[in-house]
Chain A
Amino acid sequence: MRAKRPSAGRLLLGVVLLAVGLIMLAPLVWLIVESLTGEGDAFGIPPNWIPKPFTVQNFRDIDGLIPFWRMALNSLIVATISTVGSVLVSVLAAYGFSRLPFRGREKLFALMLAALMVPVQMTVIPVFVLMRNLQLIDTLQALWLPALINVFAIFFFRQYFNTIPKELDEAARIDGAGHLWILFRLIMPLAGPAVAAMSILSFEASWNNYFGPLIFISSQEKMTLPIGLVTLQAGQGGSSVVVFAAITAVVVPVLVVFLVFQRAFVASITSSGIRG
């Protein structure tokens, strides 16, 4: 735009933004450092920025207090089923709404869209009663079943499918292809970015969900990680370093996955506007 010579203003801007970045990261660095510090020396004043003495004992101690690996597995099961299931249900519906005319189609679609305004807190009590009647309280099904319907994903996929020329599927129809073939072999590969965006968002929403397990889950063996962390902190006899180790064990893998898929993560947000 202007001359390339770095002006004083530009230098100041760089310094300020660098400071903002460091301050944003500081709590996370502190978290990781303390979780790797021996119990007697952790949480010193002034704060430690290097783990001394270095130890991984805190991580070993987690499993004695909460069934961490069981919880991680539960999180993974619920997030995977929620993601795969909701994407599948949503692309089928989106294909119907985009490609297959049937009576009442526009009305049904409008009804679903209107329901986007209904906050989850309004439906949670009747859903709880329903789950109780189905005897699904304190099961993982109670967590992923309601996640299978994602109206926003249906809307998002339909929008995307509408941008894919209908001549393509008509050509395939003439060659004798069925609708399922067209959807999964023709349209889905073309809708890659949309599928990636929705998969990332629903996996993240499920992985981070606290409200659902708080309401539906009571036994530790069925808990997912977020609720497990809070249970650990709320006085299972663990010291603060062990709590920090558990938080680190939950947070660091997520950050690593984010770093690897950063572009896709950010695109999932800018393309959908979902705040999670």
Chain B
Amino acid sequence: MSEADTAQRAPSVGAGHRQWTGFAFVAPATLLFLVFILGPFIAAIVLSFFSWDMLTASKFNGLGNFRQMFGDSLLYKALANTFIFALASVVTHLVGGFLLALGVNRLTGRALSYFVRTSLFFPFVISWAAVALLWKYVLDPTFGVGTYYLGQLGISTPAWFTDPNWALPAIIAIDWWHTIGFTFVIMLAGLQTVPTELIEAARSDGCNGWQVLWNVTIPLMSPTILFAGVITFIGAFQIFDPVQIITPNGGPDNSTITIVMYLYQKGFQAFQVGYASAVSLLVFVIMAAVTALQFWVGKRWVHET
């Protein structure tokens, strides 16, 4: 690609004209990019050194916001909750998505396969607002359908959203229901790229099912698994809608407050714009670190295709 580009970039007749044509095509995107992404990004960094309530004049605060972050126990709580949520989300999505894909891939009945694929994917296309409201009722302690059938199985359920030990796990479960379809679809697509000849060959060499899975399928799937893991982590790290809708004040004992929810509270409810910007910078740094880690893991561990 770069070679072709260099060749094209060589001065030719009408190069000046072409130059402007190129600018014209990218101009709308570039303008919007500056106004809605790059500009606000820089503004957020600048704001993190100020204190401002959006009404009165802003005051330079030096490193004050960052110093405040170090002593902010609610911020630690939000970070801890977010990491717990994200890690639980990654593990349950990867294991569940992989096993479901493996199972569906082996199904021979077409109708059954269609039914399972569709019902796994259905919740993913629904908005978080609808999902969160629905599940508030599904897990309702008195008339919830989930509560009733868990009770029938002999499992006594806590009052999920008012119990500090169970509010976050409940939201992890709801998130699984909502987004497992995505992980499943990615895993299934990855699984279908594993060449059947390799599996056949391993079989005829006397490998049993587990050995094939462990030594052939999983290594060949590793790029897909890594990708699904990173995407799930990034999505889970920014979780906001369901926690905000189900537990608007951060849940019992702030047991469900997440980092983005904290950001929202500081920025749009307490109007501590400078401090919220400093917290958002921290979110950005964590995201960037995860992305860097992805590259590093990808280079060291993942099977090259």
Contact = CB atoms under 8 A, between A and B. Distances in A.
Contact of B122 (A28, A120, A130, A229): A28
A90 B37 contact: no
B273 interface: yes
A97 B100 contact: no
Contact of A21 (B8, B109, B115): B115
Nearest to B46: A126
Contact of B18 (A6, A93, A101): A101
Contacts of A262: 118, 121
A14 B109 CA distance: 8
A215 to B, nearest CB: 6
Contact of B119 (A24, A100, A111, A227): A24
Interface stretch (B62-70, B126-134, B154-162): B126-134
A233 to B, nearest CB: 5
A108 B268 contact: no
Contacts of A97: 26
A14 B116 CA distance: 10
Interface in B177-233: 177, 179, 182, 185-186, 189, 196, 199-200, 227, 231-232
B33 A101 contact: no
A235 to B, nearest CB: 12
B297 interface: no
Contacts of A145: 36
Interface string B123-149: 111111110111111100001011011
Contact of A89 (B32, B35, B200, B267): B32
Contacts of B263: 121
Contacts, number: 262
Nearest to A31: B134
B43 A95 contact: no
B245 interface: yes
Given A130-B40, A254-B125, A93 B28 contact: yes
A63 interface: no
Contacts of B300: none
Interface stretch (B71-79, B249-257, B284-292): B284-292
| Interface size range of chain B in the complex | 35 or more
A211 B143 CA distance: 29
Contacts of A36: none
A108 B26 contact: yes
Interface in B74-124: 100, 103-104, 106-109, 112, 115-116, 118-124
B166 interface: no
B238 interface: yes
Q: Which secondary structure dominates chain B's binding surface?
A: helix
A202 to B, nearest CB: 14
B1 A149 contact: no
A122 B44 contact: yes
Interface string A37-68: 00000011111000000000000000000000
Contact of A250 (B1, B19, B130, B238): B130
B170 interface: no
Contacts of B200: 1
B40 A126 contact: yes
Given A1-B196, A149-B32, A179 B21 contact: yes
Interface in A146-197: 146, 148-149, 151, 154, 162, 179
Interface of A: 1, 4, 6, 10, 13-14, 16-18, 20-22, 24-28, 30-31, 43-47, 89-90, 92-93, 95-97, 100-103, 105-106, 108, 111-112, 115, 117-130, 132, 145-146, 148-149, 151, 154, 162, 179, 204, 207-211, 214-215, 225-227, 229-230, 233, 240, 243-244, 247, 250-251, 254-255, 258-259, 262, 265-266, 269-270, 273, 275-276
29 contacts: A1-B199, A18-B116, A27-B134, A27-B145, A27-B177, A30-B145, A44-B143, A47-B143, A89-B28, A93-B29, A97-B26, A101-B18, A101-B22, A119-B287, A121-B263, A123-B36, A127-B36, A149-B29, A149-B37, A210-B128, A214-B244, A226-B130, A227-B129, A229-B133, A233-B133, A240-B137, A255-B126, A266-B185, A269-B185
